[in-house]
Amino acid sequence: MVATKCDIVVVGAGIVGLACSLLLADKGYNVVVVARDFPGDETTAFASPWAGALLAPYPGGSMEMQKRSLEFYQKLAKDKPHVGLSSIAITEFYDDREGESSIWYRTLFDDFKFLTKDKLLKSAKIGFTYTTQVINPVYFLPWLVMELVQRGVQMVREEVVDLETLRQQRSAWVVVNATGLGARQLARDEQVHSVRGQTMFVKSSFDRVVIFQGSEYTYVIPRQHSGGVILGGVSEPNSTDRRVSQPTKKDILRRVNSLTNGAFHDLDLDRDVIRDIVGFRPARHGGIRVERTARVVHAYGAGGLGYLYAFGMADSVCEIVRGMAKEVSAKL
């Protein structure tokens, strides 16, 4: 079969790849998405479907990319309220950060409020509340795919072994590398590494997000319209163990109860866990990479913050591609 010609090949169909594809298609480019894994696939190597997908800004990293991404989601929630986006109250605690100035996003949310000392958990140095959005990937990812198909974007299942070869096969003038963990091989980037996460989905009416950041990374994230919550978590760099750890489940429950004042003290790990989730976040030493090398634009390295960064990264990719298009036009 002859490969379809296109302007741009986006490699990877996780949240970053799909976001890049959507914004590029909206700019008028002819886009083809090529990926080994697509939404709906059952594989732990494909992190996007298993994410808590909470749009909670991160004090470190690129503020501008986070802001642009949040702006996209906020507009989307107003224009298309039924795509898996929901508003939710969140309380965050940190024991490895102190001082209000480090929380740069305190001015982004109208109801943002720092907690007084008497409201902090014993080990926390700082805490705050605000209302943000949470995504249910079960609805959001299929919606993204549908939007792309409606724009004429072709989806091709293929395991890519070389980006330049793929570009030539597709007669494309640029490839967007949004392969996550695959970038270690395809971009020969030794800074890329996996971070193992383990969570569990349980039935619960608990209706708010609570997160503890720092020495004991712990969270409760309701998965909207599902009748349950995700309890986590762990962050284990370079682990490739796909098995569910029973001791980790017990430790997560211990930490969650400490965080929520015993809200899950009646939870039976043998009876009440609907699904155990083990996934591998596509992280990168040195942080996110969004840059051009020759005819490739790289977009990966967000780790567990893919949803938070996706549309900010995609916006930056579009800026790079626009510059490349000007170069091509100048040579004609």
What CATH number should be reported for the domain holding residue 94? Answer: 3.30.9.10
In a domain, 111, yes or no: yes
The reply to whether 253 falls in a domain is yes
Q: Does 302 map to a domain?
A: yes
Picking from 185, 136, 132, 128, the residue whose alpha carbon sits closest to that of residue 162 is: 185
CA distance 97 to 296: 37
- Kindly indicate the confidence band of residue 3, based on its pLDDT and cuts at 50, 70 and 90: low
Q: Which residues are annotated as a binding site for FAD?
A: 160, 179
- Residue 321 pLDDT: 96
Which residues fall in the annotated binding site for D-dopa? 219, 281, 304
pLDDT at 238: 85
Give which of 253, 262, 228 is closest to 134, Cα–Cα.
Answer: 228
Q: Is residue 202 part of a domain?
A: yes
**For residue range 139-175, what is the model confidence (pLDDT) as tens digits?**
999 999 999 999 999 999 999 999 999 999 998 999 9
DSSP per position, 91-143: EEEESS---GGG-GGGGTSTT-EEPPGGGS-TT-SEEEEEEEEEE-HHHHHHH
Distance CA 314, CA 27 (A): 12
Listed in order, strand segments (DSSP E) in 125-272 are: 126-135, 154-157, 174-177, 192-203, 209-213, 218-223, 228-232, 236-237
In a domain, 89, yes or no: yes
Each residue's pLDDT tens digit, 206-232: 999 999 999 899 999 998 878 899 999
Say if residue 8's pLDDT is above 50: yes
Which burial class, exposed, middle or buried, applies to 266 when counting CB atoms under 10 A from its CB (0-12, 13-18, 19+)? exposed
**Is it the case that residue 47 has pLDDT exceeding 70?**
no
pLDDT at 225: 76
| Res. 4 pLDDT band, cuts 50 70 90 | low
Examine residue 297 and state whether it is found in any structural domain, yes or no.
yes
Write out the binding residues: 160, 179, 219, 281, 304
**Per 3-state DSSP, what percentage of the chain is helix, strand, and coil (rounded to 5)?**
35, 30, 40
Q: Would you state the pLDDT for residue 329?
A: 66
**Looking at residue 1, what is its pLDDT?**
37
Q: How many residues does the chain have?
A: 332
pLDDT exceeds 90 at position 328: no
pLDDT of 48 reads 66
Is the pTM here over 0.85, yes or no?
yes
Q: How much is the mean pLDDT over the chain?
A: 92
Query: What's the pLDDT at 327?
Result: 76
Predicted confidence at residue 100, as pLDDT, reads: 85
Q: Is residue 2 part of a domain?
A: no
Residue with tokens 């967007």: 176
Report how many domains make up the chain.
1
| Residue at 1 is within a domain | no
Q: What is the mean pLDDT of residues 237-245?
A: 91
| Confidence class for position 63, pLDDT limits 50, 70, 90 | very high
pLDDT band at 41 (very low <50, low <70, confident <90, very high): confident
Residue 2: pLDDT band with limits 50, 70, 90: very low
At which residue do the structure tokens 């020495």 appear? Answer: 215
What distance in Å separates the CA atoms of residue 223 and residue 230, rounded to the nearest whole number? 7
Strands 126-135 and 192-203: unpaired
Question: How confident is the model at residue 81, as a pLDDT?
Answer: 81
Question: Of 220, 189, 194, which is closest to residue 207 (Cα–Cα)?
Answer: 220
Q: What mean pLDDT do residues 239-264 have? A: 95
* More reliable by pLDDT, 192 or 40: 192
Residues 6+ apart with CB under 8 A from 216: 95, 255
Q: Which range marks the domain in which residue 302 is found?
A: 8-331
Share of the chain above pLDDT 70, in %: 94
The encoded tokens of residue 175 equal: 């490839």
